[in-house]
Amino acid sequence: MNRNPVLDPTLQEILQVVKPTRADWDTRISVLDQLRNVLQSVESLRGATVQPFGSFVSNLFTRWGDLDISVDLFSGSSILFTGKKQKQTLLAQLLRAMRASGLWYRLQFVIHARVPILKVVSGHQRISCDISIDNLEGLLKSRFLFWISEIDGRFRDLVLLVKEWAKAHDINNPKNGTFNSYSLSLLVIFHLQTCVPAILPPLGEIYPRSAVDDLKGVRKTAEESIAQLSAANIARFKSGSSRSVNRSSLSELLLSFFAKFSDINLKATELGVCPFTGRWENISNNTRWLPKTYSLFVEDPFEQPENAARSVSRKNLDRIAQVFEMTSRRLATDSNRNSIIGVLTAPHISQSLVRTTNVQNHHHHANGARHPHSPQGQARPWNHQMQQNWSPSNNIQNPPYWPGPARPRPQQNWTSQNNPRNMQQGQAPFQGQTRPVMTQTQTQQQQQKSQYKNGKQPMTNAPSGSSQSQGQIGKPPGQVNGVSFARPAGPISQSQRGQVWRPRG
């Protein structure tokens, strides 16, 4: 195995930049609250709940990652089928309300997709969002990925690195015939199942059936049943005394990942990736996968026999294999830090890290000592703090975001000057102009400045990301083995928001 002395510290530098901070979590929670406000104005959606899923819930998102949101119509009651036509109608009504609010832009209705969605960008936070209706399957898969990440922390680090690498090489865009982020996560799972010794078990050993098929009856009961069985099987795997421990470094696992799939275009003609069994499976022997109408088959272990890589085209598969092979070769032979960063990251990350090195070198020559790397604006990585709070146990842990009870708060009083409804249709809030609305943080900062001028010590809550506010993420009451009691659509107050993050003894 290659022992590139530069690779491991370089990977840690990249991770320190891409991993979300507490402020990134808070920003996305404010987007969810903003959407809850919009739901109140849509009569057919009153009483529905706003539930995040995807990488935000599985804790596999980067600082600039999108936010997947499900508007749940029947949260907490029996699981009912919502037809595609009804979802299209409800999303059309939501689209009109979001447009009228003036707080969202780049609104796009993907009406004929397999799962109809609204693609929007939140105006103040500039977070891209995909909004769907009753996406219980997406919620379930997100929780499974989070539970899997609790087995071994290297899984999360590998997923974050692979996703950034794929974006840098333009192979993480299903609309253009390449991977979606979910299929990349499944490839990482498969790699950790097939390395020697294995780090993850076949997912059939965590849940022995297609989990989506068991989403029926009373929702709370179905989710509890799935979570409890998965918890018991994960605990059994982690406590196995006869299991060999894989002590490979992160760099070794990343190198072997790229090497394993460097000929994926050739393998895909006969073999499929099956995380459920943890093996390459012969397509011709698997009747569930026939007829073969795809270039690459990566079976969705939680919704069999769906193909999570159905968007990958034949033409792009050859290019994908070339990118895997090139990356494997470069990382195995290149010991130049900046070159490694250029291979693994997009320009906005690589340029930032290169600038950091130049500043450090300047300090090194000026002071005679090299300063440890610390990206500007980054406190202790939030995921570290979160992992400490979510201590291992025999019970499945709740995903990092777990909504608490809602409390009504006074509506914002807009003046005619700063009313976002007065902005032009589809206009972004900041484009060569001041913000039309002051955020609560800005208001608090102005109040603090005024109090300082008067010789008074301001009495405010600790800001997001500070040492006082770090590590306040905990299980709200009413959680059983990773099953959510959904939060109503109404927003929560600023004072109540702290209860979402406060750990419970």
* pLDDT at 191 (0 to 100): 98
Q: Per residue in 324-336, pLDDT tens?
A: 999 999 999 888 8
Least confident of 194-198, 200-204, 220-224, 287-291: 287-291
The string of pLDDT tens digits covering residues 59-75 is 999 998 999 999 998 76
Res. 106: pLDDT tops 80? yes
Which of 109-118, 270-279, 379-388 tops mean pLDDT? Answer: 270-279
- Mean pLDDT over 436-445 rounds to 46
Q: Which residues pair with 480 in a beta bridge?
A: 483
CATH code matching the domain that covers 6-356, chosen among 1.10.1410.10, 3.10.450.630, 3.40.50.300, 3.40.50.450: 1.10.1410.10
Q: Which residue has the higher pLDDT, 372 or 38?
A: 38
pLDDT at 218 over 60: yes
pLDDT in tens, 237-258: 998 777 889 999 999 999 999 9
Q: What is the pLDDT of residue 322?
A: 96
Q: What is the pLDDT of residue 397?
A: 54
445-471 average pLDDT score? 41
Q: What is the mean pLDDT of residues 173-190?
A: 96
Per-residue pLDDT, 194: 97
The amino acid at 175: K
Position 210 pLDDT exceeds 50: yes
Stated length of the chain? 505
User: Residue 484: pLDDT above 60?
Assistant: no
The share of the chain scoring above pLDDT 90, in percent, equals 52
Residue 67, beta-bridge partner list? 129
Can you tell me the distance from the alpha carbon of 263 to that of 459, in angstroms, rounded to the nearest whole number? 61
Q: For residue 351, what pLDDT band results from cuts at 50, 70 and 90?
A: confident
pLDDT mean over 153-180: 96
Ranking 95-99, 362-366, 411-415, 450-454 by mean pLDDT, the lowest is: 411-415
Contact 288, 305 (CB under 8 A): yes
Q: Enter the tokens of residue 103.
A: 């707080």
Angle, to 10 degrees, between the axis of helix 314-333 and the axis of helix 250-260? 140
Q: Using the predicted structure, report yes or no on whether residue 434 has a pLDDT greater than 60.
A: no
The pLDDT score that the predictor gives to residue 29 is: 94
Return the amino acid letter for 21: T
pLDDT digits 0-9 by tens, 110-146:
887 888 999 999 988 899 999 999 999 999 999 999 9
Ordered by start, the domain boundaries in the chain are: 6-356
pLDDT of amino acid 195 = 96
pTM: 0.73
Torsional sign, CA 238, 244, 250, 256? negative
- Which residue in 27, 12, 10, 11 sits closest to 64, CA to CA? 27
Instruction: Answer yes or no: is pLDDT of 370 > 70.
Output: no
Query: Which of 276-290, 432-446, 451-465 is most confident?
Result: 276-290
- For every residue of 289-325, which 3-state class applies, written as one string? HCCCCCCCCEECCCCCCCECCCCCCHHHHHHHHHHHH
